[in-house]
Structure 1
Amino acid sequence: MPVSASDAIAGCLMGGAVGDAMGLPFEGLSPRRIARLRKGALQYRLFCGHGMVSDDTDNAIFVTQSLIKSKGDVSKFKKSLAWRLRLWLICLPAGVGFATLRSIIKLWLGFKNSGVYSAGNGPSMRSAMIGAILSNDASARHAHVMASTLLTHTDPKAFTGALAIAEIAARLANQEWQTRPPLNELISMLSNLSDDAEWQAVVKGIKESCLAPDPVLIAQNHFGGKHGISGYTMHTVPFAIIAWYLYFGSYYDTIDAVVNAGGDVDSVAAIAGALAGASVGLTGIPQEWREGLMDWPHSRQYLQTLARKVNDPEVKAWLHFSFWLFPRNIIFFLIVLLHGFRRLLPPY
């Protein structure tokens, strides 16, 4: 059943959050350790069978709020997102990337060019919502992805990875890809994003992985290894795309493949989950996973309301930065710390 544009946006936002929460307990673990820890079907395991979100979801929300407030004005979007990142940092988020940390400090110090030379996956975890919301305007997508990227990362590879995610999300939201697209069509689109030699090698690796007899294993070896998928854009983005493509239409299987791969699991799962969510819509995400999200102020109810706000100005959803993130982050840190102690125990 085709997914409407509004449902694709809702699925993209919720799908990213659920992937983030599902992957978080496995963050930094190797595939071997994850295989030993997992028992049965994939489920939340951070806190009493519930999931909480990390910086990936916060950033997706900030982007969505900024897009709504700026109404297509790129300079206003950049200013709005920059202030949210500034305020977010003083709320002591856990797990913020080093490049993002340095860039936000530069924002506070008044640097006009705040980005640092890095190809981390921060911009890519923000870009799916840009693509979904601006699905019918390619030039606007390009400009907004560029603005979002340069706030924190200046390596062109970071922009290319972020744009790839945005372009896929756009084709899902505007119903161009109602079913899994032909592989050659996907590869052609990705190849045209950049002439960079490394990116072209990445695109070739995506194609080879998807055509292999055991595509996930080949992709994991190609873009990861024994320690899992790293936070480098040229590893995170292709693996997220492969997981989404191979399991098109199955949100569960997409996230399951990402979790099993290990490494920077929450970010890869957030990106792949956003694409998978845009493919299946809100109801295509397992109900128990949606209902199992336990967070605040970025709750599952707020995610759904914010997604509706995108296309309906009459929907009441707060768009200001919530300083309730500060006490929430303190509680989150304690929960993650307790969970970390558990990860020190067998099985190894």
Structure 2
Amino acid sequence: MTMDRRSIEGVLMGTAVGDSLGLPAEGLTPAQIKRRGWRGDWRHRFVFGRGMWSDDTEHSVMLAQALGCCGGEEVRFGRDFARQLRWWLVGLPAGVGLATARSILRLWCGFPMSKSGVFSAGNGPCMRAAIIGVVFADDAEQRTRFNELQTKITHRDPRALTASRAVVELAAHFSISQRTTVGETLELIRDPNGTEDWDEILEQLRTAHQRRLSVGDLLNSIGGSCARGISGFAFQTVPAVIHAGNLHHWDYEQTVGCVLDAGGDADTAGAIAGALCGAMHGPESIPEEWIQGVCEWPTSMDDLSRLAEALTTERKLRVRAAWSPTLLLRNLWFFIIVLAHGVARPFIGIFPAGPATKPSTDSFP
């Protein structure tokens, strides 16, 4: 198995930055984002001009660690990832999605991996799936099996699998070829076992690109709402990200900025968009100010680079403990900041912004 460190690091760092930038805007409508002066001016605003990541990045890191420690064995991978999920919930993360929480509780109750997932088509599997694509870029069968396992641990709705498969296949393609056409993109994500709804969405994506429609217009055409923004439904989030990427040739800054402007589930949409852009263009495509603005502990951005190197050399490495008192303290600090944002949201400018860079709480996962 041949792995490209540049793409792996691009996925991990791209996820973290997109997640961190979008987190303060989660649940805001496009109109609210515009009133705050954030539209087209994305920077870290979570706390004192710095950013922190949410469950989107944490799940990606846990999945990457499971891939690195399983030795290519599917069952070991699933058990490792399930164990990390169980202890992740014990760490009391803020904003965990209802479907993900229920599935992890089922794991704690003794349900096997094959039956722990709940019937939901939320974004949970999609937000962490890209790393599977770049690790198994040269092995379609492995990509399919590992992605199906990670998806069904938490989500059993076939639509969740169809959407996460789209993310995996795009990440794999982008890590091999740094150029793509809209036609290639749509063919890559065509699911032979998909639903009629997905086929219709692909046609809407083709039409939206031909007409150069906005992400909001695309959402309206596939059952979403441009007024509310990108929802936590995988059949809306993933198409919105793909359309933004196609419009902006998967340029990191423009694509991530486009999905964040659309509002809604901003952190997850930003994480998925960042992962796919990073898979294609590598970490060097991410603005340095955005990378430096992420202030995380006990796992840092440097740790993501170390994890990428370990995956490339097939060396076992864990940069994030399954549970520790430090993680609990981090999550408490994170929760306090989230509460502060909730109080401050009616007021504009309460938290100072970081250096400028040009360019709904999700209940599903």
Range class of TM-score, shorter chain: over 0.9
Using the alignment, how far apart are the partners of 2:107 and 2:307 within structure 1? 26
Deviation at 1:183, TM superposition (A): 1.6
| Contact persistence 1:194–1:200 (CA under 8 A) | no
**Structure 2 vs 1, CA of residues 330 and 149 (structure 1 numbering), >3 Å: closer, same or farther?**
same
Deviation at 1:250, TM superposition (A): 1.8
Paired residue type of 1:17: A
- Note if 1:345 corresponds to 2:344: no
Aligned to 1:16: 15
- Note if 1:77 corresponds to 2:87: no
Aligned to 1:284: 285
Paired residue type of 1:97: G
| Contact persistence 1:248–1:276 (CA under 8 A) | no
Paired residue type of 1:25: P
Deviation at 1:244, TM superposition (A): 1.9
Alignment of 1:26-37 (within 5 A): 26-37=25-36
| Contact persistence 2:310–2:316 (CA under 8 A) | yes
Between 78-87 and 293-302, the greater mean CA deviation after superposition:
293-302
Structure 2 unaligned spans of 5+: 350-365
Using the alignment, how far apart are the partners of 2:315 and 2:78 within structure 1? 24
Aligned to 1:141: 143
- Superposed CA deviations along residues 142-179 of structure 1, whole A, max 9, x for unmatched, are 00101001100000000010010000000111x2x321
RMSD between superposed Cα atoms in Å: 1.7
Deviation at 1:86, TM superposition (A): 0.2
- Note if 1:115 corresponds to 2:117: yes
- Note if 1:51 corresponds to 2:51: yes
Deviation at 1:333, TM superposition (A): 0.4
Deviation at 1:193, TM superposition (A): 4.2
Paired residue type of 1:103: S
Aligned to 2:245: 244
Using the alignment, how far apart are the partners of 2:319 and 2:31 within structure 1? 43
| Contact persistence 2:68–2:317 (CA under 8 A) | no
Aligned to 1:209: 208
- Superposed CA deviations along residues 105-136 of structure 1, whole A, max 9, x for unmatched, are 00000012100011001000111001111111
Q: Please state whether the residue corresponding to 2:33 is helix, strand or coil.
A: helix
Deviation at 1:319, TM superposition (A): 6.2
Q: State the identity %.
A: 39
| Contact persistence 1:212–1:218 (CA under 8 A) | no
- Superposed CA deviations along residues 230-287 of structure 1, whole A, max 9, x for unmatched, are 0001011111111222222421111111111011110011001100111221111000
Question: Would you say how many aligned residue pairs link Structure 1 and Structure 2?
Answer: 341
Structure 1 unaligned spans of 5+: none
Using the alignment, how far apart are the partners of 2:44 and 2:26 within structure 1? 13
| Contact persistence 1:16–1:272 (CA under 8 A) | yes
Paired residue type of 2:81: L
Between 223-232 and 257-266, the greater mean CA deviation after superposition:
223-232
Deviation at 1:220, TM superposition (A): 3.8
Using the alignment, how far apart are the partners of 2:315 and 2:156 within structure 1? 37
Deviation at 1:218, TM superposition (A): 2.3
Between 241-250 and 71-80, the greater mean CA deviation after superposition:
241-250
| Contact persistence 2:65–2:317 (CA under 8 A) | no
Paired residue type of 2:334: F
Alignment of 1:127-276 (within 5 A): 127-173=129-175, 175=176, 177-179=177-179, 181-222=180-221, 223-276=224-277
- Note if 1:62 corresponds to 2:62: yes
Residue of structure 2 aligned with 1:328, choices 327, 330, 334: 330
Paired residue type of 1:212: R
Aligned to 2:353: none
Between 234-243 and 162-171, the greater mean CA deviation after superposition:
234-243
Aligned to 2:307: 306
Q: Please state whether the residue corresponding to 1:191 is helix, strand or coil.
A: coil
| Contact persistence 1:220–1:261 (CA under 8 A) | no
| Contact persistence 2:61–2:320 (CA under 8 A) | no
Deviation at 1:320, TM superposition (A): 4.3
| Contact persistence 1:302–1:317 (CA under 8 A) | no
Paired residue type of 2:89: L
Deviation at 1:81, TM superposition (A): 0.3
- Superposed CA deviations along residues 77-123 of structure 1, whole A, max 9, x for unmatched, are 10000000000001001111100000000000001210001100100
